[in-house]
Each structure stands twice: as C-alpha cells, then as structure tokens.
Structure 1
Amino acid sequence: MAKTNAGRFFEDYQMGQVLTHAVPRTVSGGERALYHALYPARHALYSSDAFAQACGLEASPIDDMAAFHVVFGKTVPDVSLNAVANLGYAEGRWLKPVHAGDTLRSTSEVIGLKQNSNGKTGVVYVRTRGMNQRDEVVLDYVRWVMVRKRDADAAAPETVLPDLAKSVAAEDLVIPEGLDFTGYDFDLAGEPHRWADYEVGEQIDHVDGVTIEEAEHMMATRLWQNTAKVHFDATFRPDGQRLIYGGHVISMARALSFNGLANAQMVVALNAGAHANPCFSGDTIKAWSEVLDKADTPAPGVGALRLRLVATKGGLPFTLRGEDGKYDPNVLLDLDYWALVPQ
C-alpha cells in the first residue's frame, strides 16, 4: 500500500470539509532575520523591540506578512499542492500579533466549489484560520485556488460560491492591545508623514525595484514550508519555469512600499487580492500604491489607511488595466489592505 501523499485533487473536496493542516511551527527571532534577508523590509515596528515597546507593545512582533506566510504554508499540502494558480483573497484579518516563541498551526474549511468549463480544473474556496499555542486565532482569511482534477470524467459538484465582503469594515479592524502612537518617533521611523497627510485617491510611486532571483525564491518557499509543485518542480509547467510564490511578490511589494509609506506600520486586514500575472526569476518588481479610504480607530494616536498595493514587472506606475478591462500584462499583484498609521 502506498504511504506517500499525492495531494488532493478538485474532486476530493466537499462543502463544509474541515482540513487540519500538519506540522505546527514555533517561530523565533530567526524568522525576523530571514525575513529581512529576503526582503528590503524596514518598518520600524518590526525591526526594533524598543520602538515597538514605545508604541505600547510587549516587543517587536514577527512581521504580519511573515505570520501570513507561516499560516499559509501549512495549508499548501492540503489545499494547493496540485494547484494551477492561487487566484485571490478576501476577508483577511490579523487578530493578534505573533511574537518569537509562539507556535502557529492552521485549519481550513471548504466554503465554495466551482468546476471550470474545461472540465479539467475547478476552483476551491477555503477559509483558513491560524492559531497559536493558546488556541487564539491570530489570522483569519479566505482564499480561492484553481486545482487540477484527477479524473476529467469525474462528476462536477454542485456550484457553491461564497458571499464574500468586498472589504473589511473599518469598525471590524482589530487593533493590537495596548497600541499607542501618541509618542510615535517619526525620525526613527524614517518619514514624517502622518495619517492626515494622505488623501483618498492619492497615488504613490514607491520608485525602487528589486530583481527576483531563483535562489531567494527557493529559500522563501522552503522557509514557509510551501510545497506547491509549481514553485519547486521545473517539469510541472509546460514552459519549464518555476512560478514565483505569490506571497514572495506580496512581501517584496510591501517592503518596497516603505518609500512613501514608512509609517504604515501594521497590516490589520486583507480586503482583496489578485495575482494578476505570473512572476518568474529575472523579473524586476516595482510597486505603487493608491489610498482607497481612511478611518479613525479607538486606539490613541492610531488611524487606518485602506491601501491598494500594485506590484509590476517594469510597467509604468499607476497603470492597472487596459481598455479591455483586463489587468495590464505587466501587473503582477493587486492587493487591497488596511494598515495602521500614526495620526
């Protein structure tokens, strides 16, 4: 009897199915160091215990996106091992900061299924929860992924599409306990721009770029224990190229956004996201942002900005879609998120 696991195919998923993902992960300070080695991440709250403590936290947390990658990576063997592509995100909320010493694990519930018209693939919607060693949910999000069928002749399931919110409401944002930006040090943070300095509709070109290398991408997928075949196995795609993990693009774009958004310290919600076009080794990632909304929060000195973060591979800034309504071929990522900013 075979003891190995070929992963789930589209016909293996059922509505309401709960997947308990293997291999909990205890994070450490090494997680921060490796994250900063992979990306030009410079947000002060995640770089300095002293800065974080001056903002009311017990210590500098693990970067929000690093926590996302750890939780996400656990889900890959059960959700996207046989994926063609990860398609989108919705209703994501960071509920508690993750600190060195925390142990993270993940579960996912199947909340939607739709077979594609070609009969060879289907889209699976899951709600994933990342929990710490105290069974506290630290992260909750929905994603949907296109998965191959094992048997093209297998019967299609009943189509169920989840009713997902277009964005997380400002009043549903969870502010970390104790967070206080009234004594925020703008000099140490790197930029003087406050919440009031940003206007809805404003667009920011983050200027800098980073060329993606195969080695760093492979290190990232291994670090996050992401076993999706499209990232590791060059024979899995007809073009013979390993697809760059979409989360790698997210983190690179978020790090590049420091130039202009250095004070967008904490990511607290993921409203929507699309990996618009594939990214491969050799592509140079640049980024731009648009301010979509602003909100007050009950935390002292803390405001929230809703931001669109767009990563491109050499396209002109502020170009998102063509006249046909489709994403410009140079757009890699279109991400909609809430971040906390000093007022």
Structure 2
Amino acid sequence: MDGEMSLLRFESTMIKLFFTILLATLFPAKGHFVVFLNFLTAITISLLFFMHGSRLSRKKLILGSSNWQLHLCILLSTFLLFPILGLLLGWWHPLNIPAEIYTGFIYLCILPATVQSAIAFTSMAGGNVAAAICSASASSFLGIFLSPFLLNLVINIEYGSSNKIEQITKIMLHLLLPFILGHLLRRWTSGWIEKHDYIINEMDKYSILLVVYSAISEAIGNSIWNKLGFQAMLSIITGCMLLLSIVLLINLLVARLLRLDKQDEIVVLFCGSKKSLANGLPMAHLLFPGSIRGMILLPLMIFHQIQLLVCSIIVQIYKNR
C-alpha cells in the first residue's frame, strides 16, 4: 500500500513538473523578480541539502552496508558506466540536437542516483530495502563530491566567467556545508523531520519545481523553443530511452553473472539505473550560467519522467512473478 501511494506521488510530481514548465514558458520571470528568484532558489537549495543530511540515518546505512559486492556494482554503474555512455554519445553525435543538449546528456550521466524513488520502487518490487537505503544514500552523498569532479574531467569547456575554484566554492557553501550540518544536527532535528515527513517531502518537491521554473524562465529569454523543434525533442526522448535501456540491460546481466538473489537483483536494477533530479537541478544552478542552463537540464528532466514510467512497469513484472 505504501509503495502504491509513493507511485501516485511520483505521478503527481510529473504532472506538476509539466505545468511548471508550461507556466515558465507562458510567464517567465523578468526584471527584478529574476534577482529575487535567484536568491530564493539559493536559499531553498541549501535548505534542501540540510534536510537530506538530517535524513541520513547511520543505523540504516550500517544495516545495509554488509554486501560490498552489491554496492560496488551500483556505484560503478552510477559513476562509471553512465559517464562512459554519456561520453560515447557526445563523441558519436548520432542525434540532430544542439551542442548544449549533448552537454546535458553528459551532465545527466555523471549525477548520483535517486534516493526516495529508488527505495520506494525496490520496496514495491520486493527487493532488499535495507541495501537500497544504504546504496542510494551513499550515492547521493558521494555525488556531491564526484559529480562536479567528473563534470570538470569530461567537459573541457568554460561557460561565462565560471571557473573550477568558483564552482567548488559554490558546491561547498550551498550543498556540502548544509548537508554536513544537517547530519551533525540530526540528533536534534531527526525527530521533528520524521514527525513531519509529509511536509518535508512536499518542500523537497516544490524546491525542485522552483529550480525548474527558474531554469526554464532563463531559457525562454534565450529562445530555447526556437532552437528546439519537434524533431529535436523527439531525439532527446529517444536518447534518454536508449540510455536507460542499455543501463538496465547491463545491470541485469551483471546481477545474473554474479548470481545475486532476486532481492539484490532488484536493488541493482533500481539503484543502478536512476538519476537524481533532486540533486541535478540544484547542482546545475550552481555550475552553469542561466543562458544555457535550461537547455542543459532538458535531458535530465525528460530522463526523470521516463525512468519513473519504465521502473513502474518493471515493478509490475516482478510482482507478477
């Protein structure tokens, strides 16, 4: 029952995301409101990562951390397999899309896995929930360090006046510091957060929508829809579906080769194939200038919707078995 409610919440978030993009397209932020929106977004991002740190339970991590082989598979899928595929896609250039979209695919591929949805889908399919909690939480934490590092490693491009030192400083101040503070203060904040879990989840989702509105508003000012026609959007959707299919297939084969039991196989599929919108949007707000941010984020936003739909189908397959 909890799993079904989680799935309904994900579908609701997808609808809200669509309407946020539509709202930003019709009524983009302008003038002084842009300055206020950027300030509000920065505060929201810091609060979001503070809550992520407060939610990180050391007991649950220890409970699910014993199977090192399982977690190594997931981390290699998230931070090695995905980036390699992103680089191959950028090198091959099979799709007729702007260069910024290829950068967006590479950015998508270096992000950590989701936490909430990966755990919920694992639970619905009858997988090892403790291991999923450990793996997804570790991926989210490591992503704060690894994602900017991988981005600088694989993309030899400078945007605007941004530089590596400035990017690292932004990540430290807006993401890492709030995350660590939240975890250190967990002794005093975890009770309130667990008691008001629904409110925290809603704040999490609406902070994502705020970043989406900000990014699309800036993209509208740079005529994003004039640069992207129907064929380009179809190419992005095709690229996302192909990327997800390849990763799911490789993860399934690896799980079978390692002879993991069915519960751990489910963890590998759901934790090793998902990418975090909650981490990706705030990080992009810090790493990329507004002139190209909306274009870069399109693959991530589309991939997010596709992964939820595909994973819900996989859940039903495991349930039927």
Normalised TM-score (structure 2): 0.31
Q: If the length of structure 1 is used for normalisation, what is the TM-score?
A: 0.29
Please state which structure has a larger fraction of its residues in strand.
Answer: 1
Q: Answer 1 or 2: higher relative contact order, Cα 8 Å, separation at least 6.
A: 2
Which structure's residues are more often helix, by fraction?
2
